[in-house]
Amino acid sequence: MAATAPSRGRNLALRVVSALVLLPLIIWLIVLGGRAFAGLAALVAAICAQELYAMTLGDGAAPRPAPLHPIAWAGVLLAGATPFAALDPALLGRLAPAAVALAVMASLVSGLFRPPTPGSGDRPELRGLAEDAPRLVFGWLYGAAMLALLVRIREFDRGLWWVILVCLVTWTNDTGAYFVGHALGRHKLLPRVSPGKTWEGFFGGMAFSVASAFVVRKLGLPGLGPLDCVLLGLAAGVVGPVGDLSESLLKRGYGVKDSGFILPGHGGLLDRIDALIFNIPLVYLYAVIAKGQAW
């Protein structure tokens, strides 16, 4: 059912108010860096894990937020702890293999003690429990690993500007794609997954990403050359939309409209950063490999 004009107006008002309240706090934490920024990343990672678990482990028709199994809550806590570990790359390197091993073990063990669903046969029930195991590990890694890399980016030389870069090439891409798509869009990009996206919007967003990379170069990253800005902008203009489409695929597959309800007028937190978490490793690897930043 299409939204009425008053409901669209209320939704826009909620979006504006929530952005005005949250944006100054987020900017302040990014500027502070260190543990303050890691705390922000940890909170976002934990919420994203909760939203993903509610989506992939729950019943899409059930009231939300869906109740989670205790092992899933352990995954939420682990997701929240991961960005803090990223403050110390040596610690992260030591803990990561053990954390992955424990997550795999816990996800499988959780199926042994989960009560059966009334009326279900043994084989479908047990197969469903086995299929939950990779979802539990995926729910932790999907956001937490990317946001841990964002904490590492903040620790770079001129790390504040590198964080601004990854945010701007992502969000200007989304804005540019929206306006160009609405003005000129004729050819659908991937209608099976996201009917509103067009090829015209895709290329328009890519142009905005390149332009924003040049702006960040001028303001705070003089070490970036023109070629760096073009390459990063073009790559972010591809990778970011892929992240957006990937989350849309998950939501369509599990029959949900929004990943959550935590942001008034915006839906879930995962809905807001789906493109960003794909662009984070892109910018991280480019900075390390092409620009000599420390791992």
Q: What is the pLDDT of residues 23-42, one digit of tens each?
A: 788 888 889 889 999 999 99
- Residue 12 in any domain: the answer is no
Give yes or no for residue 61 having a pLDDT over 50.
Answer: no
Whether residue 2 is contained in a domain is answered as no
Q: Report how many domains make up the chain.
A: 2
What is the overall mean pLDDT for the chain?
83
Q: Give the pLDDT mean for 73-102.
A: 84
Model confidence over 126-175: pLDDT tens digits?
556 667 778 888 888 888 989 999 999 999 999 999 999 999 999 999 99
**Residue bearing the bigger pLDDT, 101 or 188:** 188
Q: What is the pLDDT of residues 107-132, one digit of tens each?
A: 777 767 666 555 555 544 555 666 77
**Residue that wins the pLDDT comparison between 15 and 80:** 80
Which band of pLDDT confidence, cut at 50, 70 and 90, is reported for residue 15?
low
Q: Check residue 204 and give its pLDDT.
A: 95
Instruction: Provide the pLDDT for residue 89.
Output: 77
Task: Evaluate whether residue 250 is within a structural domain.
Answer: yes
Structural domain span for residue 99: 21-155
Say how far apart CA 87 and CA 91 lie, in whole Å. Answer: 8
Which of 155, 180, 210 is at the close of a domain?
Answer: 155
Most confident of 5-19, 108-122, 155-169, 177-191: 155-169
Q: What is the pLDDT of residue 265?
A: 53
Residue 82, pLDDT above cutoff 70: yes
* C-alpha–C-alpha distance, residues 274 and 44, integer Å: 12
Cα–Cα dist 279/295, whole Å:
17
Residue 8 within a domain: no
Residue 136, classified by CB atoms within 10 Å of its CB into exposed (0-12), middle (13-18) or buried (19+), is buried
Do 107 and 167 lie in one domain? The reply is no
Same domain, 142 and 107: yes
Mean pLDDT across the stretch 48-73?
Answer: 74
Q: Is residue 269 part of a domain?
A: yes
Same domain for 136 and 226, yes or no, is no
The reply to whether 31 and 135 lie within a common domain is yes
Residues across the chain: 295
Do the Cβ atoms of 234 and 169 come closer than 8 Å?
no
In a shared domain, residues 107 and 171: no
- How far is residue 6's CA from residue 208's CA, in Å, rounded to a whole number? 32
**Each residue of 192-231: pLDDT tens digit?**
888 889 999 999 999 999 999 999 999 999 999 999 999 9
**Same-domain pairing of 135 and 261:** no
Q: Using alpha carbons, select from 216, 206, 213, 217 the residue that is nearest to residue 173.
A: 206
Same domain, residue pair 83 and 57: yes
Q: What angle do CA 173, 178, 198 make, to 5 degrees?
A: 95
pLDDT at 294: 86
> In this predicted structure, what is the pLDDT of residue 65?
54
Tell me which of 124, 155, 186 is where a domain ends.
Answer: 155
255, part of any domain: yes
Last residue of a domain, one of 155, 181, 206: 155
Are residue 182 and residue 105 in the same domain, yes or no? no
d(CA 216, CA 165): 6
Residue 83 identity (one-letter amino acid)? P
Quick one: angle between helices 89-112 and 70-85, nearest 10? 170
Q: What is the DSSP string of the chain?
A: -PPPHHHHHHHHHHHHHHHHHHHHHHHHHHHH-HHHHHHHHHHHHHHHHHHHHHHHHS-TTS-SSPP--HHHHHHHHHHHHHHHHTTSHHHHHHHHHHHHHHHHHHHHHHHHSSPPPTT--HHHHHHHHHHHHHHHHHHHHHHHHHHHHHHHHHTSTTHHHHHHHHHHHHHHHHHHHHHHHHHH--SEEETTTEEEEEHHHHHHHHHHHHHHHHHHHHHT-TT--HHHHHHHHHHHHHHHHHHHHHHHHHHHHHT-SSS-SSBTTTB-HHHHHTTHHHHHHHHHHHHHHHH----
pLDDT for position 266 = 57
Unique residue bearing structure tokens 């008053």: 6
Q: Are residues 238 and 281 both part of a single domain? A: yes
Inside any domain, residue 3 = no
Q: How confident is the model at residue 63 (pLDDT cuts 50, 70, 90)?
A: very low
The C-alpha atoms of residue 166 and residue 276 are separated, in whole angstroms, by 7
Which of the residue ranges 12-16, 70-74, 105-109 would you say has the lowest mean pLDDT? 12-16
- pLDDT in the model for residue 181: 92
Which pLDDT does position 54 carry in this prediction?
A: 87
pLDDT at 49: 92
Residues 173, 147 share a domain: no
Average pLDDT over residues 51-69: 69
Closest CA to 282 of 220, 240, 228, 223: 240
The predicted structure's pLDDT at residue 18: 58
Average pLDDT over residues 265-273: 78
What pLDDT, on the 0 to 100 scale, is given for residue 283? Answer: 97
